[in-house]
Structure 1
């Protein structure tokens, strides 16, 4: 371990830089398009154009799982940076403007002459469930060269998004980031992102969780997929032995925070569910922002629940209310 200076950032997110297009849709529309409700599918240019043309009126905004976490953490007062690849195009400018306007340091150079900026076509059914169709575009170009070791070392926690396991170069970037962080005595957090994503890369995820991850975020479906079990208690017993700290979100049942043989059950914050997009991202943001302030584990979980409840109470994955006021209430 090196004697690194005190961190300048509380959190550095690394993930897919995506512009979200959200629209309401009925269950029949999803079935007609062959979509698995509640999941995330990777799509090509042709599918992106076909679905976009068939969707109802959409709301555009910057998204991406880790980027959402960064924006919410910044809203809670954390010092935050983000690394992710956009193209030098209009949507790339939208993304860069939005994340910097949210108070997030965004130093990654845009891709010129390659694929366009990524977009995620999100269909929200009347029950608030979101079904995502992601065209990765310029994200696929993100690789080890985009991971600035100086940026990683400047952050107390480097937060990695599981979706970034889909592009192969990005996996190498993950390992570069985690090794730089650990060499400087910093922590590495991982969010599993999506049970289908875990299924696509299970062996790689299992290796990364066991050998590189200090703090793990997952929902019930993701942790069960990771350990190939349908027994939540068995999955939690396993994760205790592999990471220092894990926060498992359980929808309306709140969340469970575990560290070694200790655990904290955290209640969900009641809210009217409008759109579940970004719920897990916001939970991780609240948790990590509280952790950066040295709050107790139960309070970290409460901040996560408050942030998640705010984000699912409206359309879109970025906060609209004053989160500092909400966690202080």
Structure 2
């Protein structure tokens, strides 16, 4: 029986505020380059006042992935909390406009806090430094998980950043239970090496017990398995998880499953903004897996999608990804 959704994603619902900045701006504002830092509302307001011209685009890691799958024609839904405010309306409109279902009830107007936003500072080398005010999205609870919707997914996609929320682990457990009971499978993205450090034990428990597909990059998987040996980390992950998809920047991606290991080359491109490269790799990979393609082809789709995203500002596709797949002989 065909399920209503190929993928349902759960993550932090954020609006990305994208601006260019140089290294001296990062230094003068004590911003560590290339990672995600959690900030409070006061810091968010201050940074917003200091940056130059900015572009506001609905973001959030899992939301970017779900939007990418929807762009490709996949049936998707997203779970993430916004407030009934201006940025919340922008987030909901942008995601639905991509073709994804989004029905998470917004926090009321009188709720403390606001819709979360991520101030993404892009340096001339294309690296992005993320300053995230979670706002109301931090308070996603089990009550926000619609078990019928989750049960209607072939795969659920869990965003590692959500581990920072106080009731996130319980919300994930509810979603995993509903998905597995209905024959669905579970994918997880590690999101960020520092996120892994904050929640390594919880990640490890979920990986051992529930995860069927793991997405990570080199830094994240090294942090996860506390080693400096990349191939050791890959091997340890593959021993625990059915499918491992690990990106490695300009070195492409490694796909491991069933004792097989495929190395997929990157698609060369001029890097404008690395924001969302991993998110869109996951989108294309999940699209490939849910549409009958083998894992190596799905990995190649992921690298094509990632190369498109890093060629422009923002984490939503501007080119027709299906056409790019055809150009590369993948469909």
Q: 2:82 maps to what in 1?
A: 86
1 CA distance for matches of 2:166 and 2:114?
A: 18
Q: 1:8 maps to what in 2?
A: 4
1:86 and 1:110 in contact (8 A); partners too: yes
Q: Which runs of 5+ in 2 are unaligned?
A: none
- Deviations along 1:134-154, whole A, 9 cap, x unmatched? 000010221101011101111
TM-score (norm 2): 0.97
Q: Which runs of 5+ in 1 are unaligned?
A: none
- Deviations along 1:154-208, whole A, 9 cap, x unmatched? 1100000000000121121111111111111110000000001101111111111
TM-score (norm 1): 0.98
The farther-off stretch of 123-132 and 133-142 is 133-142
1:241 and 1:260 in contact (8 A); partners too: no
Q: 1:142 maps to what in 2?
A: 140
- Deviations along 1:15-49, whole A, 9 cap, x unmatched? 01100000000001101111110000000011111
Of 18, 23, 28, 1:22 maps to 18
Of 153, 168, 179, 1:181 maps to 179
SS in 1 for 2:266: coil
Matched, 1:169 2:150: no
Q: 1:103 maps to what in 2?
A: 99
Of 2, 19, 33, 1:37 maps to 33
The farther-off stretch of 172-181 and 270-279 is 172-181
Q: 2:65 maps to what in 1?
A: 69
- Deviations along 1:107-142, whole A, 9 cap, x unmatched? 111001222100000000000000000000010221
Structure 1 ranges of 4+ moved more than 4 A: none
1:283 and 1:304 in contact (8 A); partners too: yes
CA apart distance, 1:6:
3.1
1 CA distance for matches of 2:173 and 2:243?
A: 19
2:17 and 2:56 in contact (8 A); partners too: yes
Of 236, 253, 268, 1:270 maps to 268
